[in-house]
């Protein structure tokens, strides 16, 4: 699996994306609120309406508090109730009063707008003694609505940030919960359930590791089940096959022990038959040993030694070819020069040839030659045996343990073993590594 973005990088981009979304929402909401405020509380018509209301209150206040040109102090009290009004009084063009609680420097910018100079902003204020004055009353909303707009925009952006970030984290937590549920299924024994692999971060790597572990455990259990079945079949077959020769051997030995034979010729017959049954039992015992050799996980290969390839294979092939010819087979050999050394355990390699020899005796057709070829390709030695399959092969039974043993033994030498049947011919092929040069130091192959 290719290495992707780690969770820390994804978390960074998740926070960054949530923050950008929150900032965008903040400005959109803030601009929307400011647009509404400009159309409402910060608008000219609203301020003019509020200024008119304030003037009505001012007129009532002037009458109640007996405000005269000589007693303008109550106006300071009235203007001091809040920072939202600015009052200027004129009498016959002369300045009579100016609110000092809110100076022009402190007044909001809208007061400097030319719209504030509209004559409608001028009011006729009658003091309590009947004096006619010109009142310029300015009303401004202040910053309260602006601050609330900022707070509301910030709250909306916080909600958006929280939603985006929690959605990212929740998606990862949901995947972790899914992996936990799938792991519970596997722990319950259902190894056929496939783990969901999603993404290429650490969680994806974890899921891939769980899936590989599931496949490994399932394959191991399948191999154990096959081995158990093979053991059961072997025990059943061996117990059945051993019972017949053992019964016959015991019968012959009992007849000889009791002297129940008519002459020396019959005694020799009993001895010969007993020997045949003993060899049959030995063959079965060898098969059992080979079976243990193939399927035992604790078996380790023995030490290997360096041998001249041409000398060793010519000797082994010649020896077994001679034995086959004595059994009535015609052997055709084609051995090419190897010009190298092979690293082998001679005893184990002889077991390979023994199994091939026994296989030929049992299944090969005497009417056709056995072809043996040996050649080298780069750093590999190839040995091929080809024979015609006997027509009586279908009447014989076999367990293929010998061929499996050959594959196991050759893997101990760093080689390989294969076999196939085609058009009535059975062919086996084994390979071994070959080394050239005097500096060769053999290494023990791994199993």
- HEC letters along 141-156: CCCHHHHHHHHHHHHH
Report the pLDDT averaged over residues 113-142. 71
Domain count, the chain: 4
- Same domain? 376 vs 315: yes
Whether 343 has a pLDDT exceeding 50, the answer reads yes
- Same domain? 57 vs 158: no
- Same domain? 373 vs 399: yes
Q: What is the mean pLDDT of the chain?
A: 80
Residue scoring higher pLDDT (322 or 101): 322
Say if 22 falls within a structural domain: yes
- Same domain? 24 vs 167: yes
- Same domain? 216 vs 173: no
DSSP helix, strand, coil percent of the chain (3-state; round to 5): 60, 15, 25
Give the domain CATH number at 252. 1.10.287.130
pLDDT on residue 241: 65
Report the pLDDT averaged over residues 136-140. 79
Say if 340 falls within a structural domain: yes
Continuous segment of H or E residues that includes residue 132: strand 132-139
Q: How confident is the model at residue 291 (pLDDT cuts 50, 70, 90)?
A: low
Largest CA distance in the chain: 172
pLDDT on residue 176: 86
Give the domain CATH number at 377. 3.30.565.10
- Mind listing the pLDDT tens digit for each residue in 59-71? 888 888 888 888 8
**Which residue range(s) make up the domain with 108?**
44-140
Q: 29-43, 179-193, 229-243 — which is least confidently predicted?
A: 229-243
**SS3 label, residue 317:** helix
Say if 313 falls within a structural domain: yes
- Same domain? 93 vs 132: yes
pLDDT on residue 445: 46
- Same domain? 395 vs 323: yes
pLDDT on residue 299: 52
Q: How confident is the model at residue 1 (pLDDT cuts 50, 70, 90)?
A: very low
228 φψ region: left (φ > 0), alpha (ψ -120 to 50), beta (else): alpha
Whether 27 has a pLDDT exceeding 80, the answer reads yes
- Mind listing the pLDDT tens digit for each residue in 404-419? 778 888 887 888 999 9
| Cβ neighbours of residue 107 closer than 8 Å, sequence gap 6 or more | 86, 138, 140
């Amino acid at each position: 699996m290719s290495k992707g973005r780690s969770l820390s990088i994804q978390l960074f981009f998740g926070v960054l994306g949530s923050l950008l979304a929150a900032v965008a929402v903040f400005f959109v909401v803030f601009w929307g609120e400011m647009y509404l405020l400009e159309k409402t509380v910060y608008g000219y018509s609203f301020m003019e309406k509020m200024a008119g209301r304030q003037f009505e209150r001012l007129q009532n206040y002037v009458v109640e508090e007996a405000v005269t040109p000589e007693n303008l102090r109550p106006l300071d009290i009235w203007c001091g109730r809040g920072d939202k009004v600015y009052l200027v009084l004129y009498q016959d063009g002369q300045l009579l009063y100016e609110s000092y609680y809110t100076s022009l420097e402190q007044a909001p910018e809208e007061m400097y707008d030319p719209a504030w100079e509209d004559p409608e902003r001028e009011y006729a204020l009658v003091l309590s003694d009947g004096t006619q004055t010109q009142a310029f009353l300015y009303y401004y909303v202040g910053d309260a609505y602006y601050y609330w707009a900022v707070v509301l925009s910030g709250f909306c952006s916080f909600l958006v940030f929280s939603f985006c970030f929690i959605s990212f984290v929740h998606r990862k937590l949901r995947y972790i919960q899914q992996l936990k549920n799938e792991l519970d299924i596997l722990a319950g024994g259902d190894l056929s359930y496939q783990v969901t692999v999603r993404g290429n971060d650490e969680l994806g790597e974890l899921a891939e590791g769980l899936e590989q572990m599931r496949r490994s455990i399932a394959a191991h259990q399948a191999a154990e089940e096959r081995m158990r079945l093979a053991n059961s079949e072997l025990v059943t077959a061996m117990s059945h096959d051993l019972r017949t020769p053992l019964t016959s051997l015991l019968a012959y030995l009992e007849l000889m022990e009791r002297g129940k034979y008519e002459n020396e010729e019959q005694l020799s017959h009993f001895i010969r038959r007993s020997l045949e049954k003993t060899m049959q039992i030995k063959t079965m015992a060898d098969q059992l040993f080979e079976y243990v050799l193939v399927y035992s996980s604790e078996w380790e290969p023995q030490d290997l030694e360096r041998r001249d390839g041409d000398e060793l294979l010519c000797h082994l092939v010649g020896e077994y070819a001679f034995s086959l010819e004595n059994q009535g087979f015609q052997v055709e050999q084609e051995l090419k020069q190897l010009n190298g050394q092979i690293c082998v355990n001679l005893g184990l390699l002889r077991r390979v040839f023994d199994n091939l020899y026994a296989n030929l005796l049992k299944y090969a057709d005497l009417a056709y030659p056995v072809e043996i070829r040996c050649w080298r390709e780069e750093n590999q030695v190839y040995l091929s045996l080809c024979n015609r399959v006997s027509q009586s092969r279908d009447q014989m039974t076999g367990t293929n343990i010998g061929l499996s043993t050959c594959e196991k033994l050759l893997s101990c030498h760093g080689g390989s073993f294969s076999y196939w049947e085609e058009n009535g011919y059975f062919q086996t092929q084994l390979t071994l590594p070959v080394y050239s040069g005097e500096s060769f130091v053999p290494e023990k192959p791994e199993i």
